[in-house]
Amino acid sequence: MKYVLLVGAGFSCNWGGWNATEVNDFLPTVPALRADRHVTQVLSHIAGTGGFEEALAEIEDEYDRSPTSENRAHLDILQSAITTMFLTMETAFKQRPSWDFCNLKQFKTAHFLSGFDAIFSLNQDLLPERHYHDLDLALNQPKKWYGWRRPGIQVLPDPSLTTNEPDKVTWTPRPPPFVLEPSHQPYFKLHGAWNWRSADKRQMLVMGGNKAASINKHPLLTWYHQQFESYMSEPDSRLMVIGYGFADPHINQTIERAADANPRMLLFLTDPRGRAILPKRIAEIDNAGVSRKPLRETLAGDEAERLKLMTFFT
């Protein structure tokens, strides 16, 4: 049995991260984007449907169909504004002394996360890189991990840098084959991160309309998705989902395939809307429980809700 965690934007929202609607609200504050009439029109037109990711997909499609300097400029401006958004969130994450909401051991974030055999994240921010510390896992009792790792990724050497701040360094894939590090909890960023670059300097940030095609361009991200399906497909494995709204078809299809391979899979959902948000096939997965409270409230000292979450591991 494997205990698997999948987190989406709603997870980072517990620490001040933004959801898609809040990102839509931020982007017009970037002067260069505001000055690009075409990009602002696309954002305005799509705001009520797919949000900034659909706007990015449309701008990318325009450039693919007609790779002119003008269309390239539109794409660069939107991508730069999205990077500015992530940097703004990182500034807020940096201000937090920790990501704990309570000093009692049983309510500490690392104590909760340490129970999972693997964590899969759809987020491209650097919240865990800043606050999830190896020492927190190494000191946790009963001891399960010596630390955590993002498999297959390494810092890109930069002699000009004199800091290891997460938002200052650039990461790039290691050469394959990709492996897991023994005694270290794997943390897979399924859609990359805003400061990841491929060997050919492409940004490893999966957004927009055709995410599956974007993932297939990067062997590391392809391997991450294979790991996601593999962990869930093991007999009796359980999946907890926090802050993911089931809007990505490629993720939903992976969960569905794993459920077919593992008919005894259990699903625990943490979302204020409950299981009503589940697509039809995923709703057929056996219910391990639902927590409708934000994680920040549970980990701030709500013992009853915490105990409900912990039933996932029993």
Q: Which pLDDT score is estimated for 295?
A: 97
Amino acid at 281: R
Dihedral sign from CA coordinates of 55, 129, 233, 241: negative
Q: Are 175 and 138 in contact (CB under 8 A)?
A: no
Peptide bond between residue 176 and the one before it cis (omega within 30 degrees of 0): no
> CB under 8 Å to 57, separation ≥6 — which residues?
50, 207, 208, 209, 210
Rg (CA), the chain: 20
- By C-alpha distance, which of 156, 151, 180, 150 is closest to 168? 156
Which tops the pLDDT comparison, 234 or 208? 234
Q: Which of 98-112, 161-175, 262-276 has the lowest mean pLDDT?
A: 161-175
Q: Are 308 and 297 in contact (CB under 8 A)?
A: no
Q: Is the pLDDT assigned to residue 299 strictly greater than 90?
A: yes
pTM to 2 decimal places: 0.93
Q: Which pLDDT score is estimated for 206?
A: 87
Question: H or E segment at 147?
Answer: strand 147-149
- pLDDT category at 50 given cuts 50, 70, 90 is low
Give mean pLDDT, residues 107-127: 96
Q: Which pLDDT score is estimated for 54?
A: 85
Q: Are 32 and 80 in contact (CB under 8 A)?
A: yes
Give mean pLDDT, residues 44-52: 72
* DSSP secondary structure letters along 88-136: HHHHHHHH-S-S-S-SSGGG-HHHHHTT-SEEEE---S-HHHHH--HHH
Q: Is the pLDDT assigned to residue 51 strictly greater than 80?
A: no
> CB under 8 Å to 263, separation ≥6 — which residues?
none
Instruction: Tell me what percent of the residues of the chain surpass a pLDDT of 70.
Output: 96
Q: Where exactly are the structural domains of the chain?
A: 3-17+99-313, 20-95
Q: Which pLDDT score is estimated for 166?
A: 80
Mean per-residue pLDDT over the chain, rounded: 92
* Cα–Cα distance for residue pair 225/196, rounded to 1 Å: 17
Q: Are 103 and 74 in contact (CB under 8 A)?
A: no
Q: Are 234 and 2 in contact (CB under 8 A)?
A: yes
- pLDDT category at 156 given cuts 50, 70, 90 is confident
Give mean pLDDT, residues 149-177: 85
Give mean pLDDT, residues 261-271: 97
Q: Which pLDDT score is estimated for 49?
A: 61
pLDDT in tens, 10-25: 999 999 999 888 998 9
